[in-house]
Amino acid sequence: MSDGTTLDRIDSPGDLKKLPVEQLPELAAEIRNYIIEILSRRGGHLASSLGSVELTLALHYVFDSPRDKIVWDVGHQSYTHKIITGRREAFADLRTKNGISGFPKISESEHDIFGTGHACTAISAALGLAAARDIRGEDNFVIGVVGDGAISGGMSFEGINHAGHLKKNRFVVILNDNEMSISKNIGALGKYLTKITTQNLYIQLEADIWELLGKVPHGSTARKLASRIKESIKNLVVPTILFEELGFRYLGPLDGHDIPQLIETFSSLHQLPGPVLVHVVTKKGKGYSFAENDAEKFHGVGSFYKTTGDSKSGKGVRKYSKVFGEALTAMAREDDRIVAITAAMKEGTGLSCFAKEFPDRFFDVGISEQHAVTFAAGLAREGMKPFVAIYSTFLQRGFDQIIHDVALQKLPVRFILDRAGIVGEDGPTHHGTFDLSYMGMVPGMIVMAPADECEMTRMLLTARSIDSGPSAIRFPRGSVAGVDMSKSREPVEIGKGRFLVEGADMALIAVGAMVGTVVEAAGMLASKGIEASVIDIRFVKPLDAELIIEAASGDRPVFVIEENAISGGTGDAVARLLSEAGITVPVKRIGIRDVFVPQGRREELLDEQGLTAGRIVEAVLSSASSSDPETGGGSR
């Protein structure tokens, strides 16, 4: 429950419309305080939502949701939308298991018109809604709200291009420029003025004025002033030219925190024909000084202390991404052909240290995963050693490029899949539960899954040495195991796994982050008189055929445990290998069934999916009575 008396009365957009405009800034302040209060306990996407409070209030004050369709790109900025559309009380359980999602979700509210979580989808989805509206002969507005750099993604421009062609009325794109989009991610659009400024007349006029300014008293000062004026005009003119030539009527830039101005502008849109783009400028993290001063840090946060902004998690805890970044930076000191690429996730993938030390060999391509992959292919073609660090869920967007531009040409691009497996509170849009399946099916791809940070560092050395084709290393979100790093400078032999525990009764083949859990499960089985071997498979592709066949010797049943979809995963590959070798032992798969895993704490989701030590033991003990080769998904 919120503390503010105004917010307490808002259970729907209809309640919002009853307030006088003068009272909306007070409501905005209450909403900010409420968001900060809840996210300090729950974590979430703080800075973006703090920056979009007034914008959201103005949208719902003018438009009639859900009749008028508001589509939020990415969803990072939708918290105010959730609070004022009947979920004020439920917001207290944001991102918890069985609580409301951190992103728009169709099944959650009639006001969540389109589910999001990945960037650059809003314009295309909104245009589809508008086209369907026109086919039905209706006249409602459709509004796509784009922010957090999503305008820089190729899919956004594809949507804008098509929208300009279709010329739909009552179709609005709100460009929330929160200093993470135009100013940083698409600053290159300024080059669009080349079309104008390369004309001979313009060049001669500019040269004459420049020469004249140099001859007047205090000419250098005049030249500096002229340069600033020129830059200001460019920043003002570029968006207008670009979007209007693409078929949009451009309005702005507007102050995204000036509620009366926003309401006045939105109220006038029904008079304008064709698609309209409204450019609003907001302050990311507004109202919370720590987020304003470090918007990147407070983009997505865990629980934190409100008074200091410090994280509540242990400061000394090392994350996989940090170990990766440090290891790659150390390798780059020894090899000047190593380059690092990420897609708007420099901090999240641990590459800040690399970027600082090797700025000429670090490339942040923005929210453009497809481009990142093919860009890396070009680098590899010229003898560089590109490491592409992208969250597992986002790399899905570059699947065609992985196949066509990298693997088909046997180019040695090294893919680093961070946040593989179950990531927790961000939910199904962000879990990385398919990468072993989609990477494993690509011809020539070498797929590695380290059990801990030492193995990960060793596999980075292995990847560096692979010049025959692409490779991938996947590791989970969160803290490392804290293992001995004395062997971290020794590469892992390609395609070679290892026995960790010897046992005569059965074989447990563990993949990546599941290794420690499976060793624990083997100990629990031993206490029940069951001896289980534990194998760290290390390589999902190529599999260690000799090791797997040895594990299955003596007709021992084989269990494959992976934090990945069962379908097309490592268990399927192991079963196929044994079948082709003529070995008919039962192969049980323990992993994620044919479902989208919901949100919640990582530990509780792993338990629900049968991927904790206790649940693995239950699956093993019950396997004798089941003929189902797939285990997990919380069904047993």
> Catalytic residue numbers?
284, 369, 397
Selection from 77, 75, 238, 249 nearest residue 160 by Cα? 249
| Whether 243 contacts 277, CB under 8 Å | yes
Alpha carbons within 13 A on the beta-carbon side of 588: 25
Rounded distance, CA 151 to CA 37, Å?
Answer: 30
Rounded distance, CA 129 to CA 471, Å?
Answer: 40
Q: Are strands 338-342 and 249-255 parallel, antiparallel or unpaired?
A: unpaired
Q: What are phi and psi of 386, to 5 degrees?
A: -80, 135
Sign (positive or negative) of CA dihedral 105, 106, 112, 115:
positive
Sign (positive or negative) of CA dihedral 21, 22, 23, 24:
positive
3-state secondary structure 427-483: CCCCCECCHHHHHHCCCCCEEECCCCHHHHHHHHHHHHHCCCCCEEEECCCCECCCC
Concatenating the DSSP letter of every residue in 122-169 gives HHHHHHHHHHHHHHHT----EEEEE-TTGGGSHHHHHHHHHHHHHT-T
**Between vectors from CA 104 to CA 86 and to CA 60, what angle results, nearest 5°?**
50
Concatenating the DSSP letter of every residue in 557-610 gives -EEEEEEEESTTSHHHHHHHHHHHTT----EEEEEE-SS----S-HHHHHHHTT
